[in-house]
Chain A
Amino acid sequence: MSFKVAAAPHGHSQKKTNQVMAWVVFALIPGVLIQSYFFGWGVWFQILIAISVAYLAESICVWARERSARQALRDNTALVTAVLLAISIPPLAPWWIIVIGTLFSIVVVKQVYGGMGQNIFNPAMAGYVLLLISFPVQMTHWLPAAPIAPYDLGVWQTLHTIIFEYTPAGYDVEQLRTTVDGISMATPLDGVKTALDQGQILSEAYQLPMMGALAGIGWQWLNLGFLLGGAILLQQRVIRWHIPVGFLAGLLIPSLLAHVFAPSIMPGPIFHALSGATMLGAFFIATDPVSAATSDRGRLLFGLLIGLLIWVIRTWGGYPDAVAFAVLLANLCVPIIDRYTRPTVYGHHSGAKHDAE
C-alpha cells in the first residue's frame, strides 16, 4: 500500500484567503446599510453592476492567461475590489462610470500586473482615481443626505437615473442636488473647504445646512458604520491594528495640533475622522495587504503616511477628499518602507536582551 505524500506542516489554522476576503465584504455591511439609508438605493445598483463586471473581466483575463477562472473567482478578491469601488463613487453616478472603473481596476491594475497578490496599487483606489480625474463632474455629484435631500428617489427612479442619467420625471443629477432656494449642495468636506477658502471662519462653515452634530449629516453615521465594520475585522483578526492606527494617527494628530493653534480656520480631528472616506480608508482600503507594507513597523509607517497625506491634501490640495490619492502615493513607497523596516532576525541583535514575562 502506498500512502499520501504531503509537505509539512500537516494541518492548518487561520482563515483561508477566500474567507478573509469574504469577511472584508461582510464587515462592510453596516456601512453600506447606513449609506443606503442616507443616500438611497443607488449604492446597491452600483455594487451589483460592479460585481458583475468584475467577475466577467476577471474570468476573461484569467482565461486568457490560461489559468483556472473558477479558482480565481473563488478567492473573492475581485468581489472585494468591486464592492469597495462601488461604495466609493456617488450612488447616482451613471452606469458606465462604475463599468469603466471596475474594468480598469480588474484588468489593468490587477491582472496586467500578474493577478492576485501581484498588484502594486490598490485596485479599487486606482480605479477611483482614474474616474475622478477623467469624469470629475459625475464623480463629485453626491446627493445631500436623506434628512436634507430635496427629493426622495424610489428604487425604480434610482435605477432609471443610473441608466439614463435622469429621473423618470426628467430631473438630472445636478437638479436633484439643488435645493428649493437654488443652492446646489456640496459634500460636507467640499462645503467646509469652499467656505474656508472664501474667507469664512470655521464656526461659520459649520453652520452650513449639510453639517450635523459631529461632522456632515449622514457622513458622520456612514463613518461610524465603517468604524464598526473595522472593529469586526480587528476582532476577527482579518486585519491587524497597525495600519488603521497609523492612518488615524497620521490624520488626527496633525489636525488636532492645527486646530489647537488655529481654531478658526483648521477643522479639528472629529471633523476629519467622520468626514469623507476616512473610516472606509483606514479599515478597508489601506489595509489591503497586497499593496501595503509587510512588517508591523512598516505598516504603522505606511498608515501614518496615508493619514498625513490625507490631512495635507484635504487642507491645502485642490480636492476635497484625498484617501485614494494618499493610498496610491503610499503604495508607491511600499518597497522602500519594506526595505528599511525589516525586523532584526534572531541572532542578529547585538547583545539583545528580551523582556521577562
Chain B
Amino acid sequence: MQDIKQFVESGQIARFPGGIHPPERKQPASEQPLRRIPYANELILPLRQHIGVSGQCTVREGDHVLKGQPLTDAVLHQGLPLHAPTSGTVKAIEQRPMSHASGLPEQAIVISPDGHDQWRERQPLPDYQQRDKAELLDIIQAAGVAGLGGAGFPTSQKLAQQKPVSYLIINGVECEPYICADDRLMREHARDIVLGMRILAYITGADKTLLAIEDNKPEAIASMHQAISEYSDIELRVVPTKYPSGGEKQLIQLLTGHEVPSKQLPIEMGVIMQNVGTAFAVKEAVIDDKPLIERVVTLTGECIEHPGNVWAPLGTPVDALLDFAGFKPEQQQRVIMGGPMMGFTLPITAVPVIKTTNCILVPSTEELPPPGDEMACIRCGACAEVCPASLQPQQLQWLAKAKDYPALEDNNLFDCIECGACAFVCPSEIPLVHYYRQAKSQIRNQAREQAKAELAKQRFEARQARLEREKEERLERHRKAAEARKQMQQQKAQDAPEQESNNDGKSSAVAAAIARAKAKKAAQEGGSAGSEASDEATTQPRPAQDKSAAVAAAIARAKKKKQARDQEDKQ
C-alpha cells in the first residue's frame, strides 16, 4: 500500500507489457457534436441489461408510463431497476431478440412513446453532501446506474465495498479504436463529469481522484483540465496511447505501478475505478434525479454517411440508429456492437441499445477486412509479445483445442481479459479469444456440474446414513422388546406355580399364552432376519411401539414383503 502511494504521488506513469497500436480511426465521428435522435416507434427494454439478475416487472401491457418511471423492481441487490426512457404505453412484454452475438430472444418490455416526453415527478438534490453515503448509494441504485465502460456492473454495488479507498480512478482512456463516446462526453460535459467524480469521491471517501485520459484526445484533456482546476484533490494523468490501456487492470498498473493480485478486486489495494460515462450518470442520478435512460453511442464505420455520437435512449433499436446516421450496407456487411477489438457482430439489427452499448460500427470490407482462413499455429509467439497479461496465448490455444481444462487453469486462462490483442496480430488468423471464451465457459459448466454432482452425492450419503441409523434404532427397539418379554416370561414362570396352586383352570390358559409368546419369539427372530435384509425403501421411521401385537404385525408385514420380493426375484 505504501509503495502504491509513493508511486502515485510521484506522478509517474508505469507501463504494462504487450499491447498493440491498431489504427485509431476515431475521426471523423469524434469531431461531430453530440446529437439527439428522435424516439423510435418502439423502445425495447430487455429485463436483463448486464451482469446479475433481472428485475421483476412492475408494469403490465397497456399501462401508461411516464419518463423515468421504474419498470422493474430489483428484487435482490445484485440487480438494477429499469426505467421508461420516455412517456408512452407498454405495448408488450414479450420475448425479443437480444443485443448479443446470438440474437437469441429474451424477455423485454416494449414501450411505444406517446410523443409528450412527460417526466414523472422529480426531486433534484443539488446539495448531495447533506445526505449520507448510504442514502446516495440508494439513489444511485434506484436510478439503475451501471458501469458504462465495460460489463455494466451495478455501480452502487461496486461503491458499497466497505474498505478504505485511497484512490478513485476515473477512466477516460477509451483505448479501443473507433469509439469516441467518452471523448465527446468529456469535451461537452466536463463540468457534469467532474460533479459526478466529486459525488463518487464523497461516497468512497477516496483521498485522491485520478482522471486518466489517453494522449490521443487533446480536446478532451483540455476541457477536463479546465473543469478540474478548482479541485486540488483531482489529478489528471495523461497516459500514452496503446491498446488496452483502458482495461481496468492495465490502467491500475499504469497509474499505480502495481498489478491487481490475481482473483482479487482493485479495492484490496485501496483503488476503485469508474468510467467517465458512469461519473456523468451518477451526477444526473443524484443531482438531477434522472435515472439511467439514455447513453452516448458512437455511430461509425465507412458504411455510414454521417458518423458521430448520439444520445441514444435505452431501448432504441439499432436499425433506428443506423437509419438516422445513413446506413449504406454492402455485401456481407458486418454490424458490430462495441469496438473492433472486443465488439460482437449482430446477426440482426432489430436489437436495442442497452446500458453497455457504447458503439455501433459498420465497417466496409476495405477498412476492416474479414478474417481469412484459420491456419495452423506456428508458435511464432507474436501473441505472447502483445499479451497485456503476459500469458502464453499460443499455449492456451493448443490446450483449448485439446480440451485440457486442468492445464488451461494451470496456465492461468482465467487471467485473460479477452482484449483480443493476440488474435489481432496472429499471422495464422486464429480466433484465439473465441477459443478461450469457449474453454472458459466449458470449465465453468464443468464446475457447475461438479458442484451439482457433489451436492447429489452429499444428499445420497446423508440419506444412506439416516437409513442406517433408523435400522440400528429399529433393531435396538426389537432387542429391548424381546428382553422385556423374556423378563416377563421368567416372572410369569416364577409366578406360575403359585397360580397353579391357586387356580388349575387358569394354568392351562397361562401355558397357552406362553406357547403363543414362544411362537412369536421364534417368528420375531425370523422376522428380524428378514427386516435386516429388507430394502431401505420399505422401512419408514415409525413411532416406538412396545406392544408385542404391533411388533408381530410388523413382522408379519416384513415377512410378506420379503416373500413377495423373493417371488419377484424368482420371476
**Measuring CB to CB, which residues of chain A are less than 8 angstroms from any residue of chain B?**
1-20, 71, 75, 77, 115-118, 240, 289-290, 292, 294-296, 299, 338, 342-349, 351-357
Contacts and interface: CB of A to CB of B under 8 A. Distances in A.
Contact of A347 (B257, B260, B368): B260
Which bracket fits the contact residues of B? 35 or more
A115 B363 CA distance: 36
A115 B376 contact: yes
Contact of B381 (A8, A10, A17, A240): A240
A96 B373 CA distance: 36
Contact of A355 (B15, B363, B388, B395): B15
Nearest to B12: A356
B378 A352 contact: no
Nearest to B398: A117
B340 A10 contact: yes
Nearest to A115: B376
Given A116-B378, A289-B380, A353-B257, A4 B370 contact: yes
Interface string B404-444: 00000001100100001001111111010110000000000
A16 B428 contact: yes
A77 B428 CA distance: 12
24 contacts: A3-B333, A3-B334, A4-B333, A5-B345, A8-B343, A10-B341, A10-B345, A11-B22, A16-B375, A20-B380, A117-B377, A289-B378, A290-B379, A294-B394, A338-B395, A346-B249, A346-B260, A346-B388, A347-B260, A347-B263, A347-B389, A348-B262, A356-B7, A357-B15
B342 A9 contact: yes
B20 interface: yes
Given A3-B334, A8-B342, A344 B382 contact: no
A289 to B, nearest CB: 4
B372 interface: yes
Given A4-B334, A5-B347, A347-B415, A14 B376 contact: no
A328 B369 CA distance: 39
A354 B253 contact: yes
B348 interface: yes
Contacts of B335: 3
Nearest to A9: B420
Contact of B384 (A7, A19, A295, A353): A295
B32 interface: no
Given A5-B345, A8-B338, A8-B341, 19 more contacts: A2-B347, A9-B342, A10-B345, A12-B429, A13-B424, A17-B380, A75-B375, A77-B378, A115-B376, A289-B380, A296-B384, A343-B390, A343-B392, A345-B390, A346-B390, A347-B261, A347-B389, A353-B258, A354-B15
A299 B384 CA distance: 12
Contacts of A19: 427
Given A13-B425, A348-B412, A3 B348 contact: yes
A14 B20 CA distance: 11
A79 B533 CA distance: 76
Contacts of B260: 346-347
| A8, A9, A75, A299: most-surrounded residue (chain B CB, <10 A) | A9
Contacts of B7: 353, 356
B332 interface: yes
Contact of B368 (A3, A10, A289): A10
B224 interface: no
| A7, A290, A351: most-surrounded residue (chain B CB, <10 A) | A7
B329 interface: yes
Contacts of A343: 17, 384, 390, 392
Nearest to B434: A7
B543 interface: no
A2 B534 CA distance: 64
A6 B425 contact: no
B348 A2 contact: yes
A290 to B, nearest CB: 5
Given A2-B347, A347-B261, A348-B412, A14 B333 contact: no
| B17, B380, B426: most-surrounded residue (chain A CB, <10 A) | B380
A290 B426 CA distance: 14
B434 A13 contact: no
Given A8-B433, A294-B395, A354-B15, A345 B375 contact: no
B128 interface: no
B119 interface: no
Nearest to A350: B261
B275 interface: no
Main secondary structure of the interface of B (DSSP, over half): loop
A12 B373 CA distance: 13
B346 interface: yes
A4 B370 CA distance: 10
B292 interface: no
A210 to B, nearest CB: 38
Contacts of A5: 101, 345, 347
| B253, B378, B433: most-surrounded residue (chain A CB, <10 A) | B378
A274 B289 CA distance: 78
B258 A12 contact: no
Contact of B427 (A1, A15, A116, A294): A15
Given A10-B368, A295-B381, A17 B16 contact: no
Nearest to B333: A3
B347 A3 contact: yes
B14 A355 contact: yes
A19 B392 CA distance: 23
A349 B249 CA distance: 14
B420 A8 contact: yes
Nearest to A344: B390
A74 B90 CA distance: 58
A353 B3 contact: yes
Contacts of B424: 9, 11-14
B336 interface: yes
A356 B342 contact: no
Interface string B137-165: 00000000000000000000000000000
B324 interface: no
B333 A7 contact: no
A14 B378 CA distance: 14
B373 A294 contact: no
Contacts of B391: 345-346
Nearest to A354: B14
Interface in B323-380: 329, 332-336, 338, 340-349, 361, 363, 367-373, 375-380
B259 interface: yes
A177 B524 CA distance: 109
For the complex of A and B, 4 pairs with smallest distance between CB atoms: A347-B262, A117-B376, A9-B420, A356-B12
Interface string B236-261: 00001000000001000100011111
Nearest to B420: A9
A289 B428 CA distance: 13
A343 B15 CA distance: 16
B251 to A, nearest CB: 13
Contacts of A117: 376-379, 428
Contacts of A299: 381
Contacts of B420: 8-9
A13 B21 CA distance: 10
| A17, A348, A352, A356: most-surrounded residue (chain B CB, <10 A) | A17
A9 B341 contact: yes
Contact of A6 (B10, B334, B388): B334
Given A13-B22, A346-B415, A6 B371 contact: yes
B381 A346 contact: no
B13 interface: yes
Contacts of A14: 382, 424-427
A42 B431 CA distance: 43
Contacts of B377: 117
